[in-house]
Structure formats: structure tokens, C-alpha cells
Chain A
């Protein structure tokens, strides 16, 4: 069974940092591109970042470029999102999601982890 489990969310002050993790199981993690997608309270979905299976290709939404860094450790079946210079507008539930295949859509999602940026 495919499972994605996020962790690392919490309350952080504006300007602070947080590192999210996503533990994957039930599939060959090293064969799939992965993504972070977020959802602010009561709002729609916003794609944040993508990383290819071998980390060769990395993309960011303009809203987080220069502040967030996506990475993965295929030996540990884990995906990460390092978030720096956090702002109130980064407050959201952050989901990790697997690509069905490259550029096709996300077929498995974690349950999400809440990040709250507030003083």
C-alpha cells in the first residue's frame, strides 16, 4: 500500500524557518517525481515545488522561489521541504504528493501537515 506521511509542521514566527519531511512507503520511491502542494485555510490548492526522481530537475512556484528548497533522499525514501524567511501568507496545510508519471498529475497524497506563521 502506498503511503506518504508528512511531518515537521508547527507554529513559527515570521522570518523563521521550518523543515518538512515526507516519509514514503509501499512503492519504489526513487522512480517517481514528487511534489509539495499547499492549501491555505479555507482556500484552494497551490502547487509549491517539484523534484524529479533523481533530483536532476527542480521547480518552484514564484511565491516561494529563493525561500524554499526541495530535496529528497532516495536511500531513506524521504522528501523534504526547507522553508526559510517564512511569511504569514505561507500559513497552510502542506501536502506531499507523488506524480502518476511525469507531468500527469498527483496520484497519491499524504494527509498533510499544518504550518502556521504568526507572531
Chain B
């Protein structure tokens, strides 16, 4: 079973700063099968990135995804107040189907 480890657990930044969130897999993951989500309190998750680097419909271009193999990154180029939330990475595996990382909380500094 592939385990996804996200770091840091909490990231404290100010609006306007750049955020870099990491997702590391215990085994190689196909880039086609790596997604990122944003979740705000009391809301369902929202798909941000799929296929490691493709933005979902309606997602601002300040969000970008990159990486391959075991190391993936979500970058938010200039933080807006509405970007402070919890972020999850997710991978698809043939035997385990979907696995989520434990999440990174992005909080206002």
C-alpha cells in the first residue's frame, strides 16, 4: 500500500506570500494519478489539481502542481485570504484504489 506523507503539517504564512506544500509517496506514483484538494471548515473538499499538474475547472492560476515519482508539490504563488485552508494530496493505486495524505493546514501568520 502506498502511503502519502504531507509536509509541513502546518504552514504559517501571510497574504501575498508564496506557499509550497509537499506530498511524498512511499513508492513511485504515476503522475496521472496524483491530485490535490482544498478543504475549508464545514465544507466538502474541492479538487484543485489532477494529473499532478492540471488545474481543475475554475481554479485560479496562482495554484500549480508539479512533481513526479515520489515527490509532488502544490504551489500557491501569491496567497489570497481565501486560500487559508487544509490541503490534501491523493493518489490512485490499482490495488488500494485511492489514498489521501494526512493534510497540510495553511494558516494566516
Chain A contacts to B: CB under 8 angstroms: 35, 37, 44-47, 50, 59, 61, 95, 100, 103-107, 109-112
Interface set of B (CB-CB < 8 Å, partner A): 32-33, 35, 37, 39, 44-47, 50-51, 56-57, 88, 90, 92, 97-103
**Cβ of A47 and Cβ of B97 under 8 Å apart?**
yes
B32 near A103: Cβ-Cβ < 8 Å:
yes
Q: Are A106 and B33 in contact (CB under 8 A)?
A: no
What CA separation (Å) do A103 and B90 show in the bound complex?
10
Pairwise interchain contact A44-B99, C-beta atoms closer than 8 A: no
CA distance A56 to B45 in the complex (A): 27
Give A102's nearest chain B residue, CB to CB: B92
A35 partner residues in chain B, CB cutoff 8 A: 98
List chain B residues, Cβ under 8 A from A109.
44-46
* A/B interface sample: 23 pairs, CB < 8 A: A37-B45, A44-B88, A45-B90, A47-B97, A47-B98, A47-B99, A50-B98, A59-B97, A100-B56, A103-B92, A104-B33, A104-B92, A105-B35, A105-B37, A105-B56, A105-B90, A105-B92, A106-B37, A106-B45, A107-B47, A109-B44, A111-B44, A112-B44
Cβ-defined contact, A104 with B51, below 8 A: yes
Residue contact A107 to B88, C-beta cutoff 8 Å: no
Within the complex, what minimum Cβ distance (angstroms) separates B50 from chain A?
A: 4
State the CA gap A111–B57 with chains docked (Å): 19
CA distance A27 to B57 in the complex (A): 15
Chain B residue nearest to A4 in the complex (CB):
B44
Instruction: Please determine whether B47 and A110 come into contact, CB atoms closer than 8 angstroms.
Output: no
CB-defined contacts of A46 to chain B, threshold 8 Å: 100
- Minimum-distance CB pairs A-B, first 3: A105-B35, A109-B44, A47-B98
